[in-house]
Amino acid sequence: MSLTAGESMAPSVFLSSENPAYTFQFGKKLGMLLAPGDVVALVGELGAGKTTLTQGIVRGLGVGEEHYIGSPTFTLINEYAGRMPVYHLDFYRIETPSEIVNLGLEEYLHGEGVAVIEWADKVEALLPEDHVMITLQYIDSTVRTLEIEGIGKRYTKLIETVVREPITFEAQR
Ligand code: ADP
Ligand code: MG
């Protein structure tokens, strides 16, 4: 793990994930720290682990095991009731941001819930200025890298906190 300050002084943390459970547990740890109005933007190719990470985040937000967390590839959005509303958005299928003008994105990104967005690079211009950006990269069949950026003051702190806490595997999914 390395902590570096980029041009914007937003800390950028790199983690190496050696298995899906690690990615899930990191997500869960992050989810436990999130608050209403937070936005987590996920970027990475198919199979990079965005949904696996999202499953962890959603569980960390208090959504119970009785709810299956799948990809809203066709519906674009799945909503769960956790400690607060949780919106899982997946923009894999959209080609231009104009395709989601009627989705009511405002409510999801600036409301009382937490939004986790797969393929967030496709809607980058629509994201709130402050957000967590996680870029996942496929290294080999079991290894991924996660670059975590906290953009804005709240998220700078949040990222510092989340990387300080150890990942535990006691609570497997
Ligand atoms: P995406 O949503 O980015 O398309 P998914 O999370 O749906 O990716 O799929 C990732 C796949 O890669 C899953 O089958 C998962 O089990 C596998 N995988 C292997 N190693 C890892 C890892 N370290 N982190 C996350 N997923 C991993
Ligand atoms: Mg996915």
Q: Which ligand is nearest to the CA of 50?
A: 1
139-169 pLDDT, tens digit per residue, is 999 999 999 999 999 999 999 999 988 887 7
Q: What is the pLDDT of residue 165?
A: 82
Q: Find the CATH number of the domain harbouring 27.
A: 3.40.50.300
Q: Is the pTM of this model over 0.85?
A: yes
How far, in Å, are 125, 141, 154, 156, 157 from residue 8 at the CA level?
A: 18, 33, 14, 11, 14
How many separate domains does the chain show? 1
pLDDT above 60: residue 173:
no
CA atoms within 13 A on the CB side of 38: 27
| Containing structural domain, residue 71 | 2-164
**Atom 18 of ligand 1, residue of closest alpha carbon:** 20
Q: Please indicate, yes or no, if residue 82 is contained in any of the structural domains.
A: yes
Q: Please indicate, yes or no, if residue 173 is contained in any of the structural domains.
A: no
**Distance from the CA of 91 to the center of ligand 1, in angstroms?**
17
**Atom 12 of ligand 1, residue of closest alpha carbon:** 47
**Distance from the CA of 139 to the center of ligand 1, in angstroms?**
11
Q: Please indicate, yes or no, if residue 172 is contained in any of the structural domains.
A: no
pLDDT above 80: residue 5:
no
23 CB within 6 A, ligand 1: yes
Coil, strand or helix: which one is 14? Answer: strand
55-85 pLDDT, tens digit per residue, is 999 999 999 999 999 999 888 999 999 999 9
91-146 pLDDT, tens digit per residue, is 999 999 888 888 889 899 999 999 999 999 999 999 999 999 999 999 999 999 99
pLDDT above 50: residue 172:
no
Q: Please indicate, yes or no, if residue 27 is contained in any of the structural domains.
A: yes
Q: Which ligand is nearest to the CA of 71?
A: 2
pLDDT above 50: residue 37:
yes
Cα 67 from Cα 80, distance rounded (Å): 8
CB neighbourhood size of 41 (10 A): 24
Q: What is the pLDDT of residue 171?
A: 47
88-102 pLDDT, tens digit per residue, is 999 999 999 888 888
Q: What is the pLDDT of residue 170?
A: 60
Q: What is the pLDDT of residue 133?
A: 98
H-type alpha helices, 4-152: 20-33, 50-60, 105-109
CB neighbourhood size of 154 (10 A): 15
39-60 pLDDT, tens digit per residue, is 999 999 999 999 999 999 999 9
Q: What is the pLDDT of residue 14?
A: 95
Cα 152 from Cα 54, distance rounded (Å): 21
**Distance from the CA of 93 to the center of ligand 1, in angstroms?**
18
| Helices and strands in the chain: count of H runs, count of E runs | 4, 8
CB neighbourhood size of 160 (10 A): 13
Cα 28 from Cα 50, distance rounded (Å): 13
Q: Please indicate, yes or no, if residue 171 is contained in any of the structural domains.
A: no
**Atom 7 of ligand 1, residue of closest alpha carbon:** 51
Q: Please indicate, yes or no, if residue 76 is contained in any of the structural domains.
A: yes
Q: Please indicate, yes or no, if residue 54 is contained in any of the structural domains.
A: yes
Q: Please indicate, yes or no, if residue 170 is contained in any of the structural domains.
A: no
Q: What is the pLDDT of residue 166?
A: 81
